[in-house]
Structure formats: structure tokens, C-alpha cells
């Protein structure tokens, strides 16, 4: 799986990444911490979890939501330091945003991830 992952870029290249409305179907974008063993794979976080938000195409809000999520992740706006990455998946009928955390065992951490300061 790791060998199939596309080239990694740093946040300095974010301005050059296509916006969600410019991406074709079946594209995934990931923004994860640059740490050893920190990748969008369930095996990397055996105690972790993932919040998934499904967005209908009609809503036309994915671009703004993705941008806000990226800025929250790189600006460390999540109250929990447990957030290790975010992802966006473009699909034909609905798109998905997800927030990954390293340890899902603490209830307060698990439910606070949805709160961004």
C-alpha cells in the first residue's frame, strides 16, 4: 500500500493543489503529519479512529469545508493533539471528508475532535 501512495508534498505547496471542484471522480487527497508511521492506513493507528462526513454533491460546500479543515489541521486549531491527519474523497454521488486520530480510547478526545476552535 505504501508504495502505491502518491508523492508527498508539504503544506507550502497547498496553493498549487487543485480545488475539489477541479478534481475528477475517485480522487483521494490526504494531509497527514510528517512523522514516522503516520500514513492514511488503519494499521498505522491500531488504537485510532476516523470521523467521516459524507457530503451530497447538491450541497456544493465541499471546497469551503475542505479549505477550513486544511487550515484547522495545519494551524493546529483542533483542541486535541491526537488528530494526525485529514482526508478528502471525491466520488460520483457524494464526497467524503475525514479526520483521523491516533488514539480512540478516550471518550473526551473522541467526541471533542468535532470541535474546532
**pLDDT confidence tier of residue 116, bands split at 50, 70 and 90:** low
Higher per-residue confidence, 103 vs 34: 103
CATH number for the domain whose boundaries are 2-112: 3.30.760.10
Check: CB of residue 38 under 8 Å from CB of residue 44.
Answer: yes
Q: Which residues contact 59 (CB under 8 A, 6 or more apart)?
A: none
Q: What percent of the chain has pLDDT over 90?
A: 26
Q: What is the pTM of this model?
A: 0.79
Task: For residue 17, give Cα distances in angstroms to 1, 52, 83.
Answer: 23, 22, 22
User: What confidence score (pLDDT) does residue 10 get?
Assistant: 66
Task: For residue 44, give Cα distances in angstroms to 7, 34, 54, 58.
Answer: 18, 13, 23, 34
Amino acid at each position: 500500500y505504501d508504495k502505491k501512495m502518491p508523492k508527498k508534498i508539504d503544506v507550502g505547496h497547498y496553493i498549487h493543489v487543485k480545488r475539489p471542484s477541479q478534481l475528477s471522480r475517485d480522487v483521494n487527497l490526504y494531509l497527514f503529519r510528517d512523522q514516522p508511521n503516520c500514513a492514511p492506513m488503519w494499521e498505522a493507528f491500531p488504537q485510532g479512529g476516523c470521523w467521516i462526513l459524507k457530503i451530497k454533491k447538491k450541497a456544493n460546500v465541499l471546497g469551503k469545508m475542505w479549505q477550513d479543515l486544511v487550515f484547522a489541521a495545519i494551524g493546529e486549531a483542533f483542541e486535541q493533539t491526537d488528530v494526525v491527519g485529514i482526508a478528502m474523497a471525491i466520488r460520483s454521488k457524494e464526497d467524503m471528508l475525514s479526520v483521523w486520530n491516533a488514539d480512540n480510547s478516550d471518550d473526551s478526545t473522541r467526541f471533542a475532535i468535532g470541535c474546532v476552535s
